[in-house]
Amino acid sequence: MTYMKRGTKEFKKVNFALFAGGFCTFAILWGTQPLLPEIAKEFQISPAASSLSQTSTTIALAISLLIAGTLSEIYGRKRVMTISLVASSMLAVLTGFMPNLDLLITCRILLGITLAGLPAVAMAYLGEEIDPKSLGMAIGLYISGNSFGGMAGRIITGILTDYFGWRTALTGIGVVSLAATFIFWSFLPQSTNFKVQTFKVKQFGIGLFSHFKTPGLIHLFLIGFLLSAGFVSLYNYIGFQLINPPYSLSQTLVGFIFIVYIVGTFSSTWMGMLADQYGKSRMLQLSIIILMFGVCITLNLNLWIKIFGIAIFTFGFFASHSIASSWVGRLAAQNKAQAASLYLFSYYFGGSIVGTASGTFYINFGWIGIVIMIAVLSTISLLISISLGAISSRKIKFLKVQ
């Protein structure tokens, strides 16, 4: 097999294409998150109920990820990703024209289904085409595109909402995503190490559940679930916190809060490189500790200190997600797309379920309820990562003896 190595022209093209694809996917996926207060106001519903416009998409995405990865094994990596991005961008344009909440949620569910193609396949593509010594950096760059897309999508929708309304904002994200899709299709090379497989239901089931027997993978699935649960909860309800007194920020300023995603763009790449150098276990644990430190800082009432805490939290989250994602590709000996899909299923399922359920904590206990919940989830993640590190160490020692 021939792999693309860091520094080569092909390596740069792959990372630029997947950066554009990640931007497109996550700008669409999280486009409604900063608009939840506006949606709640227009349809006269609670914060938790308004979050359904967001979590309906992530739930549909989580389930569809299990199928999208398998489709790419049959029809090819690039084809599935490209179709996914085109369909999602067109649906995103239509979302802004939905006249009521039911149709909005229906359209967002369809978006969740079509969006699954890129995240389910991208990590498998990288795992097959990129040199293992450069994989951590490549995954980090891809996730940096995700974080940049999430940031830009939120900022764009915030600005457009203040000037033209939230419906125009959602349509605008779709138009921008169509342009990003064209860049993705133009730059991404066809797979060279991919082998077409025939679909068989029995083999699909066996392959899917075999990943739960692989030492360490279930730990990563749980970590993805818990970290995403905390991350989505924080960003779902920080907008409600900031538009109310004593801050009383406009929708545009709330959207600009998401500029802290820049630190996630940096941390996912940088910490991914450090994980290649110093070990995934050590850097994953450090990243989770940084995340916990950041969320505690957000308890401070000073706006700038609160934003600083959000930035530290975001740094730790994207670093953790980057390391865990690349670790899945290394642990899965076969059916890498399925393994990546299972990790992302856990990741988005956690964000979907807890992201809405945590609204109860916010309604009853305010911001401190959200912070305590995230701190507990992060502590559990840290303990699981320590256990994962022990499993990894034993495996390395065994291989050395062999």
Per-residue pLDDT of 234-265, as tens digits, reads 988 888 889 888 888 887 788 777 788 788 77
Predicted pLDDT of residue 313: 96
Predicted pLDDT of residue 32: 84
Helices (runs of H) and strands (runs of E) counted in the chain: 17, 0
What is the distance between the alpha carbons of residues 230 and 377, in angstroms, rounded to a whole number?
7
Residue 236 belongs to a domain: yes
Predicted pLDDT of residue 397: 47
Residue 195 belongs to a domain: no
Residue 198 belongs to a domain: no
What is the distance between the alpha carbons of residues 69 and 89, in angstroms, rounded to a whole number?
20
Residue 3 belongs to a domain: no
Predicted pLDDT of residue 208: 63
Please spell the DSSP secondary structure of 52-120, one letter per residue. Answer: HHHHHHHHHHHHHHHHHHHHHHHH-HHHHHHHHHHHHHHHHHHHTT--SHHHHHHHHHHHHHHHTHHHH
Provide the residue range defining the domain that includes 41. Answer: 9-187+203-401
pTM of the full structure: 0.76
CATH number at residue 36: 1.20.1250.20
Per-residue pLDDT of 224-236, as tens digits, reads 999 999 998 998 8
Predicted pLDDT of residue 303: 93
Q: What backbone phi and psi angles, to 5 degrees, belong to 8?
A: -85, 160
Comparing CA positions, the residue from 1, 7, 291, 317 lying closest to residue 137 is 7
Residue 1 belongs to a domain: no
Q: What's the number of domains the chain is made of?
A: 1
Residue 148 belongs to a domain: yes
Task: Tell me which residues of the chain have a pLDDT lower than 70.
Answer: 1, 194, 196-212, 333-337, 392-402
